[in-house]
Structures are given as structure tokens and as C-alpha cells.
Amino acid sequence: MSSLVVVHIMSSWKPLNRLHSPVELVRQFTPNWFTVNMGTGITFLLLAQFPAHITGLHALAYGLFIVDAVLFAVFMGLFTARWVFFTQDAMPLLRHPVQSMFLGAIPMALIPLVNGLVLFYPAQPLAAQWALHLWWIDAALSLLTGWLVPWYQFTAQDHSLDRMTGVWLLPVVPAEVAASSAGYLAQHLPAAQAQSLVVAGYALWGMSVPIAMGILTVLYLRLALHKLPPKELGVSTWLSLGPIGTGAFALLTLGAAAPQAFVGTIMAPVANLAGPLGVIGALILWGLGLWWLATAIVLTAIQVRRGLPFNLGWWGFTFPVGVYTAASLTLGLRTGMPFFTAFAAMLIVALAGACTVVAVRSAHGLWHGHLVQAPCLRSAELVTAQATSSR
């Protein structure tokens, strides 16, 4: 019922009345909107850890944390209401070859809030315990999307190599995002709880990063054979940075947490190796990410000259860059090399600017209603119309 109250309030805004009816906001709601939380979330986490002291920056980051939490609750309400009240209209989402991939945005949107609880309330054990409970929910959602979406991809969806883009990564990456959070949370929890988190984190890393690397290999082949993706999906090239940056960040956080979690246990010798091996692995992935970062910049410049229309996919400029920045910032701390810290600071500034621009344009699109559209519904309606006309 709370979701319908939100819809009723928002429908009173004149621009949203341009939709066919107020309830269209629920019926047309897609998981793409959770990319707003992903971008906002990684931005406030990095602003709160900016390597230079700037007055008011931490307060700004905390304010974004609150805004992001409210938006996530609203989006979850709308998404749940769509499945409860418009189940038949929601089902085509699972068969849509692009929209279904964005189901992975839901668990990835939750992780910044989980980490934010520990970051902004470090002295409150209750915050860490709430974060732990939410993390296990997120891990379950990550596994669900990581298996469910590929199952539909393998059995029911229509795909071809020439139509492949970086969005294929979205249902696979949540597991490694959860893995990076596991290492971060484990450093703030008792050893008994930290041990299970670290073990689960490495398992989640293994269920995500190798698969993502395989997808990146195929994506390289697709770009070589079929050139750039359509301009509507032009930003998808940036998604390649996501699994690389998160994979590196997870190795660093898990490597930092493992020795403390397994001290005095039979696993202690292995755990003590996790830190240095994590740094080595992160450095290798960081180098791969630098190649993709430069490639994404060049390919985007070409797309801009051709005309790059705005859509929610522009949030792809934020989260992938953000997790790569988090890996760079952590490498600076682990290696003591100022280059990584300076590089991360530069990326944080760029990220904040990109997030501001995309947020303003997203709010404009929501206000005027043209971003409230479900492509899976249009596809389903087209199939129905074609079937009717053929009778």
C-alpha cells in the first residue's frame, strides 16, 4: 500500500500526468532505476574517503547516503508493487534480452548502503550488525540474479554476437561486489562472524570474476567483428571497468580481513598470504582496468560525435569508474605509492562531476516522464499485435 501512496503523491506532479495514468509509474518501472543508487552510492563512499581534507565534504557524503537510502526504499517499493499489482506486465522483463540484465543492479545498489552503515557509524556495533544482516540478504540476491538471468539467457532470450554489449556483465558482477563488501565488513566484526564473511567472499569472487573475464573476452571479439554498439547503448563500454575494479577491490579487502579473521586457527598461515597475494592480484587487474578505461574514453568520444542520446544507461559512467577508483585508492594505502592515491583523487573529482550531470538529467527525465518507460512491455505488446494481425 505504501507504494501506491508514493504513486498517488507523485502523480499529482503535473509533468508526470503526461503518462497515460498515474499507475503507469508502477507498471512501467524498470530495474534500470537502481543504477541511480549504484552511482550515488559509490560516489558518497568515495567522497567520504577523499584523500585530502575538504571542509564539508564528509557532511555532503553523509547527506548523499541518506538520499540514496530513501531512493532505494522508494524504488524497491515501486518495483515490488509492479510485481504484486501488474504481475503479467512484469513477467516479460525476464525474457527481455537487455532489461533482464539490470536485475543485477538491485543487489549492487544495496551494497553501498551496507558499507555506508559501517563507514558513517563506526562506533556503533548495532550498525555493523545491521550491515551484516543486509549483506547476507544481498549475497542471496546476488546469487539469485547470477543464476536466474543467465538461465533465461540460455533458454528463453534471443541473443546474437552482434547485439552483445557490456550489459551482459550486470547479472554476473553482483557476486563480486558482495565479495568486496564482505572483506570491508569483516574488518569491523568479531572473528567468528568475520571468518564466515571472508570464506563466503572468496567463494562469491570465484563465482563472478572468472565468468566476467570470459564475457570481456567475448566482448572484445564482438567489438572487433561488429564494431561499436548502437548509440543508445554507447555507454555500455564503460561497464567493462566494473568487474575489473570490483575484482581488484575485493582481493584487497578480503586480503586485509583474512589475517585478523583467522588468527590462531589452522587457516592462519594461508590467511597471512591473502594480503600480499591480494595486492599482486589487484595490481594485475588494475593494469587491465587502465587499458579498458583508456579504450572506453576513446570509444565514447567517437559515440559523442555520432550523437549519444541520454538515457538511464548514462549511470554507467559512475559505478564502474567508482569501483576502479576504490581499487586505486586502496592500492595507494596498501603499497604506500602516492601515484595511486593521486590518480584516485583525480578520478573521484571526475566521478563527482559525472554523477552530478547524470543525476540532474535523470531528474529532468523523470519529471517530464520520458524516462518512465519499460521496453519489455513495448516488445510484448508488439508480439501480441503481430500475433493478432496474423490470425
The enclosing domain of 65 has a CATH number of 1.50.10.150
d(CA 336, CA 332): 5
Provide the whole-model pTM.
0.92
Domain residues for the domain of 315 are 2-384
20 lies in some domain: yes
Mean pLDDT in residue range 54-79: 97
267 lies in some domain: yes
390 lies in some domain: no
C-alpha cell read off for 168: 551482459
d(CA 31, CA 106): 7
211 lies in some domain: yes
d(CA 89, CA 26): 10
Percentage with pLDDT > 70 across the chain: 91
The pLDDT-based confidence of 391 (bands split at 50, 70, 90) is low
Q: Which residues contact 167 (CB under 8 A, 6 or more apart)?
A: 98, 101, 102, 233, 236, 239
Confidence (pLDDT) at 386: 45
391 lies in some domain: no
175 lies in some domain: yes
90 lies in some domain: yes
Report how many domains make up the chain.
1
pLDDT tens for each residue of 92-124? 999 999 999 999 999 999 999 999 999 999 989
